[in-house]
């Protein structure tokens, strides 16, 4: 049993055919690295010389046992990557934990305004209510307005990015000629690169004035933020949707065409149903983008934390989970920071969950198509 473990470990670190010399080289290198990490954690002051020692030992090993050292280095890279990822996740949850313990459901206070509990999907039956729902001095932190702001922005963004994205994906995958596709597809990908702060600046400078004029609003609103975020998420939806449509085996479409169906009939009855899960994965990914979008929202909407009144008032404005963090972190007290971490954890869980779901859907689809092709 112990021998098994030893052989396994040895094989993971060294690979199958290792000699004693390589064992020494790799062992020395790994040991210095471990020492470096320990020193960094407990006596960070002398970490730099330890790094030097590690580099020296590894370089020595590289000259003599290159293959084994290379393998070790890639293993170290993997371990460090995994550790970084795990550590970030754990740190987030650990930092949010005090606020969870302290406030509990108090993080979801349903506001009381004008002497009445605001209607929030009958949730006031379960959730606590309060007239002061965001008051860092008084220790009242309700994330409900920010959550609702995120939901509103995401809904509007989805309403824009979903249909337009589907049309765009269909166009690139099925309608456009080869030449046109070679221009538009990279073009859409390049547009996915426009930084969100640029969208935010446009919204801040131009669109807010437009809304005041055309929608009699006082500027910042869910509508504009949602539209801008929808446009931002559009390239993502188009790219992923197009990939899904293109991964439908040609044979399926050809079969339909051979039966005398038109291209539209083929698209409607073959391509879209076959790629449906992939397209929805794209939409989910795009929505994830929209939920996580910070700068455009923060630039367009003020940082107020009022719950939209009435609930579906698209012309109202409030901070979303992301802009709440961005705008408040700099001036936040310690207990507020804990609450902001709760917001961060919520975002992390929701978006990571959406990503996992969309990956699952995509994998299912690919397996199904492989089976049928």
Partner 1 sequence: MSEGYATETTLVNAESNVYDRGLDAAIGLSVLTFALGMVTLVDAVPLSASGAALGESLGLILAVVVGGVGIVGVSSWANVTPVESQRVRGIALGLVVSTLGLTVLAYAVPVTLATLLGLTLVVEAVAVAVAGVASRVETVDTSPNTSAGLLAGVVFGALGLTLGAAIGGSLVGFDSPAWVAVALGAGLVLSALTVLPREDVGSTIPAALVVGTLGLTIATAVVGVGWQWNPQSLSGGFTGGAVIPIFVLVGAILSSWSAAKCRAGFGARGREFGAFLVINLNVFLMVAVMATIVVFVTVKGVGYALHGFTIGALSALVLLAPLLVVVVNAARTPAGTDDWHTGARQLFRLLPLAAVGSVAAVLLSVLVTGDRLAYPFTYSVQVNRAQQSLDTAIAVTPEPTVGSLLLVAPALLLSVYFFRTYGSLRNVGSRVGWAETIRQTLPLAVAGTVALTGLFLLVGPRPLGLPLGGTLGVAVVVLAAVAAVVLAALPLAGVLAGEGTLADRAQDRATLFTLGVFGSLALLTSALFLQATATVTPSVGPVNVVPGVALAGAVAASAATALVAYAKRQSGETLQRRLLGEEIALGLTGVAGFLTLLGLHVAVTKVSFTVLGVSVANAGTLSWPMTMQTYIPLGTEPGGILPAVVGTVWLVTGATLFAVPLGVGAAVFLTEYAEQGRFTALVEIATNALWSTPSIVFGLFGAAFLIPRLGGDESLLAGMLVLGFMLLPLVLITSREAVKSVPDEYRDASAALGVSQWETIKSVVLPAAMPGVITGVILGVGRIAGETAPLILVLGSTLNATESAQVLDGFRFTAQPPFVANDALLSASASLPTQVWAVIAAGVSGSPSMGWASAFVLLLVVLTFYAVGITARTYFRRKLTHE
Minimal distance, residue 88 CB to partner 1, in Å: 5
Minimal distance, residue 128 CB to partner 1, in Å: 26
Helix ranges, the chain (H): 2-14, 20-42, 47-64, 66-103, 144-170, 178-191, 196-202, 208-214, 222-246, 250-258, 263-266, 272-292, 295-300, 321-328, 334-372
- End-to-end CA, the chain: 45
CB-nearer residue toward partner 1: 144 or 308: 308
CB 211 within 8 A of CB 233: no
Minimal distance, residue 104 CB to partner 1, in Å: 21
Minimal distance, residue 264 CB to partner 1, in Å: 4
What gap in Å lies between CA 102 and CA 105, rounded to an integer?
9
Query: SS3 for 304-327, per residue?
Result: CCCCCCCCCCCCCCCCCHHHHHHH
CB-nearer residue toward partner 1: 138 or 193: 193
CB-nearer residue toward partner 1: 49 or 249: 49
| φ, ψ dihedrals at 112, nearest 5° | -110, 120
CB-nearer residue toward partner 1: 100 or 315: 315
Minimal distance, residue 143 CB to partner 1, in Å: 15
What is the CB neighbour count within 10 angstroms for residue 72? Answer: 24
CB-nearer residue toward partner 1: 363 or 368: 363
């Amino acid at each position: 049993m112990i021998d098994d473990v030893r052989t396994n470990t040895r094989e993971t670190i060294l690979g199958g055919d290792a000699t004693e010399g390589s064992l020494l080289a790799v062992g020395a290198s790994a040991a210095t690295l471990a020492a470096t990490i320990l020193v960094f954690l407990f006596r960070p002051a002398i970490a730099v010389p330890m790094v030097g020692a590690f580099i020296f030992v590894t370089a020595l090993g590289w000259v003599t046992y290159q293959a084994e050292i290379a393998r070790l280095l890639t293993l170290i890279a993997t371990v460090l990557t995994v550790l970084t990822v795990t550590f970030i996740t754990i740190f987030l949850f650990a930092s949010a934990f005090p606020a969870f313990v302290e406030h509990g459901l108090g993080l979801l206070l349903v506001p009381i305004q004008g002497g009445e509990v605001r209607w929030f999907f009958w949730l006031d039956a379960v959730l606590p209510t309060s007239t002061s729902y965001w008051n860092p001095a008084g220790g009242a932190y309700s994330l409900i307005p920010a959550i609702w702001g995120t939901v509103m922005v995401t809904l509007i963004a989805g309403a824009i990015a979903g249909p337009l994205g589907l049309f765009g994906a269909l166009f690139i995958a099925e309608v456009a000629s080869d030449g046109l596709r070679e221009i538009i597809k990279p073009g859409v990908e390049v547009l996915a690169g426009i930084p969100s702060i640029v969208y935010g600046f446009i919204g801040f400078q131009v669109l807010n004035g437009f809304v005041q004029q055309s929608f009699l609003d006082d500027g910042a609103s869910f509508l504009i933020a949602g539209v801008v975020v929808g446009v931002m998420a559009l390239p993502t939806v188009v790219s992923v949707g197009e990939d899904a449509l293109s991964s439908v085996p040609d044979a399926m479409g050809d079969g339909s065409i051979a039966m005398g169906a038109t291209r539209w009939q083929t698209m409607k009855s073959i391509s879209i149903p076959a790629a449906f899960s992939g397209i929805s994965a794209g939409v989910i990914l795009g929505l994830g983008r929209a939920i996580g979008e910070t700068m455009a929202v923060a630039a367009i909407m003020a940082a107020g934390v009022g719950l939209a009144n009435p609930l579906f008032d698209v012309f109202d404005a409030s901070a979303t989970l992301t802009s709440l963090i961005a705008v408040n972190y700099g001036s936040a007290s310690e207990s507020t920071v804990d609450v902001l971490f709760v917001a961060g954890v919520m975002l992390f869980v929701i978006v990571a969950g959406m990503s996992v779901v969309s990956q699952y859907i995509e994998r299912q689809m690919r397996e199904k198509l492989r089976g049928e092709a």
